[in-house]
Structure 1
Amino acid sequence: MRICVFGAGAIGGLMAAKLAAKGDVEVTVVARGPHLAAMQANGLRLRSGGQDTVVHPRCVGSAAEAGVQDYVVVTLKAHALPGAAPQMQPLLGPDTAIVSAVNGIPWWYFYKHPGGFEDHRVASVDPDGKVWEMLHPSRAIGAIVYPAAEVAEPGIIEHTYGDRFTLGEPDGSRSARVNALSEALIAAGFKAPVRPKIRDEIWVKLWGNLAFNPISALTGATLDVITGDPGQRQVARDMMLEAQAVGEKLGVRFGIDVDKRIAGAAEVGAHKTSMLQDLERGRPMEIDALLGVVVEMAEMVDLPVPTCRTVLALVRARGRSAGCYSG
């Protein structure tokens, strides 16, 4: 089995390191800059659970060097995918699967969707339909990322918690390809269940991200503060209820209620969301894939989402002023 991790930052590096350590999967990492140079010189080091492991997957700077793969795991931010799709073409053979480990609503979301919007392109994450055409959703396997990790320094991944990657086919089937991927991840030490309704789980994760991420970018607050402060908590709750109505209109079933989801975020503690980290480091912010897409879908199903619209306008303005969002 040939697995390529395209964009091997924190999460991609974690997956690549554990797969490579198992030894029975041919792992290739596509990366760039000092991170690539460090991995080529010294291997990929994973610090996890008090253990320090060094592995030596094949590390290259381009898809052309990697060649055709069985699976391509995409761990980029959603806004980077349209630019990366042309670069990924050398990885793709007739049967290559693309494992979409990207936050927010993915480009393939309405492929095989059991409703009136089948094959609708989501403009917030695929503005001109390029990703749909170049990475056709028939290749897509959904993946929900739960671990937390960071690139401590070039070539070194620090894994702090979590070991689950939930997988699912857009049509809900238990295909041979998704089962084989699940087995490979489980053998590497992950939990990798295959779910028939992957969109439900996409929304449960998005549910918190669409509220806590932009609020944190606007206030500078960590999760414990957002969930503990009555005013910020109420804004988050209002956003989440608006989004829940949109998701349910599209056929999504939320397995927990909003207050339990907020309580789960509170348990994480003094954690800076990814959007706040991006803002502080001057990196592009993942605004549209997490919140813009919810407003877009609300328009599709003709539902008002006033709190989401207000926060979206504010966080976009904040991102533009910081040079971290261009629309």
Structure 2
Amino acid sequence: MPDRPLSICVVGPGAIGGTIAARLAAASGTGDIGRVSVVARGAHLAAIRDKGLRLVTPTEDVTVEVEAVSDPDNLPPQDIVITALKGHQIPPMAAALGRLLAPEGRMLPVVNGLPWWYPLPDGQGGFRGAEAVDPGGALWREVGPERAIGSIAYMGASVPEPGVISVEIEGYLDLGRLPGEDRSDVVRVAEMLRGAGWTVRETEPFQNSLFSKLFSNCAMNSVAAISQAAQKRIATDPVLSRMAAGIMEEVRALGLVEGAEIRMTSEKRLYHAANGPDHAPSTLQDLRAGKPLEIEPIFGATVALGAARGVPMPNLELATAMLRAIEEARGFA
């Protein structure tokens, strides 16, 4: 990356992306933070252009001006591109993202599931991304895994109206790379985000963070969407909790093969679900809102990785098949 303030574009300034964009825009011109822009659409785009991007948190209410476009080709190449989209929305943008990212730039794909840059054996002695999250290898080819920085968001936010981001649960970002890869860019980007007010972790090995997230998401999101029950019901129902725990242990076994340590037990995760806020996981939220479900990035890709590594995942495989059938019945398949 260049030795100057970095140009930054957030593609998908929704709940998570909008929070990132607003905080970066508020700090634009300080430290390593250069010009900040967003790629948005529809009413959200119109509101940001007309009134700015408003961020409401438990401790602040700020509105920032930020350049907003609908077409990434209307922006010059960017040093940092942060994608905060549903996993299935990213592959169709592969060529445009490749053009948007400067040759020495870095992409931060903030996703809920297995990221497109995570390497699977390609059967020919090399590696590729999971077909479920990178059909035809478009992102692997147009962007390249070497330019991606692992990015996971732990927070609770929503978009109550166009142009407005509401943060209900302050959280943190976790950035990293796989063992053996150069981390100098991770360190620089993490410091840049801290300068914008973020709490940033740099988990090593990054598999620990990635598979700990999958441990929860694969179980709670799938069972919630199938049963249409929020997490308290899942955690307190003996059959639903048994299915969720079974998926968690399958992900733990896969993580172990991938060199990840998941410290949370399934019992403790279900205890937190039973005794915390009655949260509806994102897949259930999408189902209730009539939106497509994020099946392949969270569930399908994890099942594919399990198959590639020889790790049986019968519970998650069954849940994934049921969710695909639900999507077909809803007309989204």
**Quick check: TM above 0.5?**
yes
Higher alpha-carbon deviation: 188-197 or 39-48? 188-197
Corresponding residue SS for 2:255: helix
User: Shift of the alpha carbon at 1:182?
Assistant: 0.7
Corresponding residue SS for 1:76: coil
Higher alpha-carbon deviation: 116-125 or 302-311? 116-125
- Whether 2:17 is the aligned partner of 1:12: answer yes
Equivalent residue in structure 2 for 1:79, among 81, 88, 92: 88
Match of residue 206 from structure 2: 198
Match of residue 72 from structure 2: 63
Corresponding residue SS for 1:177: helix
Is the 1:82–1:131 Cα contact (8 Å) retained in structure 2?
yes
Is the 1:204–1:254 Cα contact (8 Å) retained in structure 2?
yes
Equivalent residue in structure 1 for 2:116, among 94, 104, 107: 107
User: Shift of the alpha carbon at 1:263?
Assistant: 3.0
Equivalent residue in structure 2 for 1:22, among 22, 27, 41: 27
Corresponding residue SS for 1:195: coil
Q: How does 1:223-262 map to 2 (within 5 A)?
A: 223-262=231-270
Distance 2:180 2:62 in 1: 36
Is the 2:214–2:251 Cα contact (8 Å) retained in structure 1?
no
Is the 2:235–2:270 Cα contact (8 Å) retained in structure 1?
yes
State the identity as a percent: 35
Residues 232 and 100 of structure 1: is their aligned pair in 2 closer, same or farther, counting only changes over 3 Å? same
Equivalent residue in structure 1 for 2:196, among 180, 188, 201: 188
Letter aligned with residue 56 of structure 1: E
Letter aligned with residue 126 of structure 1: D
Match of residue 43 from structure 1: 52
User: Shift of the alpha carbon at 1:279?
Assistant: 1.2
Gaps of 5+ in 2: 1-5
Equivalent residue in structure 1 for 2:174, among 166, 176, 196: 166
Q: How does 1:276-287 map to 2 (within 5 A)?
A: 276-287=284-295
Corresponding residue SS for 1:70: strand
- CA displacement, residues 151-191 of structure 1 (integer Å, 9 cap, x when unaligned): 11100001110320000023455633221211121121111
Residues 306 and 159 of structure 1: is their aligned pair in 2 closer, same or farther, counting only changes over 3 Å? same
Equivalent residue in structure 2 for 1:210, among 218, 221, 235: 218
Is the 1:140–1:170 Cα contact (8 Å) retained in structure 2?
no
User: Shift of the alpha carbon at 1:31?
Assistant: 0.6
TM-score under structure 2 length normalisation = 0.91
- CA displacement, residues 133-162 of structure 1 (integer Å, 9 cap, x when unaligned): 112001000011101111111000011103
Residues 217 and 169 of structure 1: is their aligned pair in 2 closer, same or farther, counting only changes over 3 Å? same
Match of residue 3 from structure 2: none
Residues 90 and 174 of structure 1: is their aligned pair in 2 closer, same or farther, counting only changes over 3 Å? closer
Match of residue 297 from structure 1: 305
Residues 30 and 256 of structure 1: is their aligned pair in 2 closer, same or farther, counting only changes over 3 Å? same
Distance 1:272 1:203 in 2: 21
Residues 291 and 190 of structure 1: is their aligned pair in 2 closer, same or farther, counting only changes over 3 Å? same
Distance 2:97 2:110 in 1: 15
